[in-house]
Amino acid sequence: MRQTDYIEDTGNFPAVILTDQSVSDHLHGQPGLSPRLYNADLAPISKNGRQWSAYSIFALWANDVHNLGNYAFAIGLFSLGLGGWQVLLAFGFGSVFLFLLLNLSGYMGEKTGIPFPVMSRIAFGTRGAQIPALLRGAVAIAWFGIQTYLASLVLQLALLALYPALKSFQADNLLGLSSLGWATFLLLWVIQLVIVSYGMEMIRKYEAIAGPVILMTFVALAGWILMRANFSIAWDMRHALSGTDMWIKIIGAAALWVTVYGTFILNFCDFTRGAQSRNSIFWGNFWGIPVNMLLFGGIVVVLSGGQYHIDGHIIASPADIVAMIPDTFLLVLATLSLLVLTIGVNLMANFVAPTYALTNLMPKYMNFRKAAILSALIGLFILPWNLYNSPLVIPIFLGGLGALLGPLFGIIMVDYWIIRKQKINIPALYSDDVRGEYHYMAGSNPRAMIALLVSGGIALGLTFLPFFAVLRDFSWFMAAGLAGIIYFLIADRRGPFTDVDGETIAVLAGH
């Protein structure tokens, strides 16, 4: 579809032809849409016909909360000396923080209908927004490859259970992977690429189906462990913490839980731009975060406490439990469910963000499908299994980039909610006019850049310098808060800030 002949009916407005020529009569006095800033995938979604209900948003969390990385993190808390009720309390605190932050981020998407890279233009400028978009995209694209590799290991487990002779295909090595490794990785890589190439509506449908499958799988695993443990679990480990140390670890675990979701909090608007209403976001988040996370915590306690009661061993991941299943059919069924889970998590957390970032980088030449293909190719060419096995890449490269996401969140939230008070001129986000509201200085907002540089430097210090090790659990909150305060103090408040919706340039949901 060429941008020059894209026709869309917004429902509430007559059908308009959106071209690269001036459409100032549709933009409340703004100059025309810039092909450097606008295409059908970056355009605001019309409020008419949005498909993301409360269940759709709940289904996102039914997939993402129960991912294997989260279970490994949660189970690790037992190794640090927290008992069952303490782990549940940590998740309770963390879920409240997340619920509030995700609502703030999600409501922005529902009001404006725009994806994260365009949302970033509000605070960082029409050109400066490339920085937050690419930072978020770079972190996601690396994790997309890594998660696909980890999922391929689960698939190999299922295949070897069915066909033990396949083990001979694990003996060779090409660029760090065996023949079986390459086959399973590429299969999962293609499946994810096919799903995401059909756009956000296909992702919504996949998550809606996968969510219940995941919940039933983990409830079944917990039930199986309970039966093996004669319905008795260990609530405390031998080296349980107490007193002040215990409370510091509980609050620190809650803060780390938010840090785990620091990337997703930032670009949650990529999903909620299709939300039917604020109520959809509120109730989807309510059932998907506090309620679902307490269920998650309960499953963690049962899996860890039950296995510890059985043999005194603390598991590292639910995959350890799956590997113990004696029946081949049930083992394969469980591993396939874990694959459904991993694909769902990867799509929402690690595929959407880089796809929008690359679309935003070259709107004239990229659309969602082309950007998805390019994202997937990058995720393949970086040979993610080598990244995962490197002792430096994840803590330094991904840790460093991740440390900058907290400051980005603080700046964008303060600009949207406090400085502008939700007054956004959406058509101006797609304009190159030097007099435009979001042009700032040559397309970048130097005040936002200063806040990012200062707070980002401190965030990196909190992440890597041993002196700040005691504060490391709280680094995301500290960096986001510091960036927000700095930006609040130096931001331009002169306005006037105008509130103009984007219906005249909007596309239909699921276009």
Extract the tokens encoding 389.
């096995």
Angle between helices 292-311 and 68-79 (to 10 degrees): 50
Quick one: 118 exposed, middle or buried, by C-beta within 10 A (0-12, 13-18, 19+)?
buried
Angle between helices 130-162 and 368-381 (to 10 degrees): 60
Q: Which domain holds residue 478?
A: 3-505
Q: What is the pLDDT of residue 393?
A: 65
Q: Within a domain: residue 15? A: yes
Q: What's the predicted TM-score (pTM) here?
A: 0.85
Q: What is the pLDDT of residue 395?
A: 63
What residues in the chain have per-residue pLDDT under 70? 1-31, 236-241, 316-318, 391-401, 510-511
Q: What does the alpha-carbon distance between residue 82 and residue 104 come to, in Å, rounded to a whole number?
A: 31
Q: What does the alpha-carbon distance between residue 307 and residue 484 come to, in Å, rounded to a whole number?
A: 44
Q: What is the pLDDT of residue 99?
A: 96
Q: Within a domain: residue 510? A: no
Q: Within a domain: residue 367? A: yes
Supply the CATH number for residue 383's domain. 1.10.4160.10
123, 56, 97: which is closest to 446 by C-alpha? 123
The DSSP string of 77-131 is HHHTT--HHHHHHHHHHHHHHHHHHHHHHHHHHHHH---HHHHHHHHH-TTTTHH
Q: What is the pLDDT of residue 1?
A: 32
Q: What does the alpha-carbon distance between residue 40 and residue 234 come to, in Å, rounded to a whole number?
A: 55
Q: Within a domain: residue 511? A: no
490, 413, 498, 480: which is closest to 448 by C-alpha? 490
Task: Tell me if 143 sits within 8 A of 375, measured CB to CB.
Answer: no
Extract the tokens encoding 434.
């030097």
Measure the CA dihedral 146/205/259/463, to 10°.
30
Extract the tokens encoding 125.
């400028």
CA-to-CA separations, 105 to 17, 177, 222, 264, 500, in angstroms, rounded: 31, 39, 33, 10, 19
Q: Is 400 helix (H, G, I), strand (E, B) or coil?
A: helix
Q: What is the pLDDT of residue 20?
A: 36
State the total domains in the chain.
1
Q: What is the largest CA-CA distance in the chain?
A: 73
The DSSP string of 306-348 is HHHHHHS---S-HHHHHHT---HHHHHHHHHHHHHHHHHHHII
Angle between helices 179-197 and 200-228 (to 10 degrees): 130
Q: What does the alpha-carbon distance between residue 366 and residue 358 come to, in Å, rounded to a whole number?
A: 7
